[in-house]
Amino acid sequence: MNRTGPFIIGSLFVLTAGLVLLGIIMVLSTSQFVFSSANPNRNVYQYMGKQLISFSLGLGCLGFFSTRDYNLWDRWSRYIMLLVIGLLVYVLYFGPVVNGARRWIVVFGFQFQPSEAAKLAVILYLSSVWADRYERLGSLFQGVLFPMSLVVVALGLILMEPSHSATMFIGLLAMTIWYVAGGRLRHLIPFFVVLCVAVAVALYQKPYLLERVYAHFQPEKYADKALHVRQAGIGFAHGGMWGVGLGEGQQTLGFIPFVHTDFIFAAMGEELGFVKCSLVLLAFLAFLWLGFTIAIRCQNPFGRLLAAGCTMALGLQSAINVAVVTGCIPTTGISLPFISYGGSSLCVSMSMTGLLISVAKETFEADPVRSRP
């Protein structure tokens, strides 16, 4: 392996570790009010402690996937997909109801979200199927309908939880992987129609989802639904160029509900300021550049799709989260990878980093000529 391989692998690890550590700091900064107001006698470091445990588990996932030949998952991807579908069925019947939804499995006091694991399972499964069927991508049945059948089942189960944001995200991710694989866009029309029908049904059954869309275009009329984004904008304005300092933000004092999860970037804008937030976004862009570099250099069809899928998943999720917080698109429940509070999301994101490192190892060892800088 020449110098390019270690540089890319090391950079991926440093960027991942840096973003996660920043997330732990921001979780501590944004979660203190949650505990002090709800229960003054409760430990304000509880969220940070859980996130540290999740980081330890995520580090184990990163090490596990990075030290194993990624081709192993080509053989096991279908079984992993079926296992995740089984977990999604289990959570619908036996998962605890939290805020009117069944999305979690409780294991030793920790909550695990199968819909997060579904993101990784879909990437592994579709990368394997479409790498094996590369010559059949021009066929509607063998190229799209048959491979996507299991994905549609998983999306249906996630929609029943309900988790509308995860359903749309995974559906969009699947279509993106198909395009990268070289498929014909017109063959995605049936899947796109099914996804649109599912979204329409969800909007009809859950009027509050439609109100979020209205609130994006008419924030004055739907002030209560636009509260998150409005307060986030106030936070960005208050933070200015350099921020007000960690723990000094006003928006963490209950103005933005669950600011330590989906809207943690708003707290970063206030406490860290525009300049530091820009550096964080540059770190995400650098991560995407490294991931796509691995995908482009990889000669193995499965490895190429796997690297591209992991990179697009993290990039798309980051872009959607930042777009929501800054008011560019309607509010969704998409977290910021590596930074937002949540053990399931953190472990899955770090697993994707491990897979990227695994692909990079083989890529830059097998093709030293193409890997020259």
pLDDT per residue as tens, the chain (373 positions): 567 888 999 999 999 999 999 999 999 888 766 554 444 555 567 778 888 999 999 999 999 999 999 999 999 999 999 999 999 999 998 888 877 788 888 877 778 899 999 999 999 999 998 887 666 666 666 667 777 889 989 998 998 888 888 988 998 899 889 888 887 777 777 777 877 777 777 667 677 777 777 777 777 777 666 777 888 888 899 899 999 988 888 776 667 777 888 899 999 999 999 999 999 999 999 999 999 999 999 999 999 999 999 999 999 999 999 999 998 888 888 999 999 998 899 999 999 999 999 999 999 875 544 433 3
- Phi, psi (rounded to 5 degrees) for 102: -110, 100
pTM: 0.90
Question: What is the rounded distance in angstroms from the CA atom of residue 322 to the CA atom of residue 282?
Answer: 13
Beta strands 110-112; 105-107: pairing state: antiparallel
Residue in the structure block whose two tokens are 């359903």: 167
- What string of DSSP letters covers 196-228? HHHHHHHHHH-HHHHHHHHHHH-TTTTTTTTHH
Residue ranges of domains in the chain:
4-366
SS3 content of the chain, % helix, strand, coil (to 5): 70, 5, 25
Q: Is the dihedral of CA 46, 49, 51, 57 positive or negative?
A: negative
- Phi, psi (rounded to 5 degrees) for 111: -90, 130
Cβ neighbours of 368 (radius 10 Å)? 12
Could you write out the three-class secondary structure of the chain?
A: CCCHHHHHHHHHHHHHHHHHHHHHHHHHHHHHHHHHHHCCCCCCCHHHHHHHHHHHHHHHHHHHHHCCCCCHHHHHHHHHHHHHHHHHHHHHHHCCEECCEECCEEECCEEECHHHHHHHHHHHHHHHHHHHCHHHCCCHHHHHHHHHHHHHHHHHHHHHCCCHHHHHHHHHHHHHHHHHHCCCHHHHHHHHHHHHHHHHHHHHHCHHHHHHHHHHHCCCCCCCCCHHHHHHHHHHHHHCCCCCCCCCCCCCCCCCCCCCCCCHHHHHHHHCHHHHHHHHHHHHHHHHHHHHHHHHHCCCHHHHHHHHHHHHHHHHHHHHHHHHHCCCCCCCCCCCCCCCCCHHHHHHHHHHHHHHHHHHHHHHHHCCCCCCC
Give the bridge partners for 102, in sequence order. Answer: 97
Task: Work out the angle at residue 67's Cα, subtended by the Cα atoms of residues 62 and 71, and round it to the nearest 5 degrees.
Answer: 105
Question: What is the rounded distance in angstroms from the CA atom of residue 97 to the CA atom of residue 91?
Answer: 10
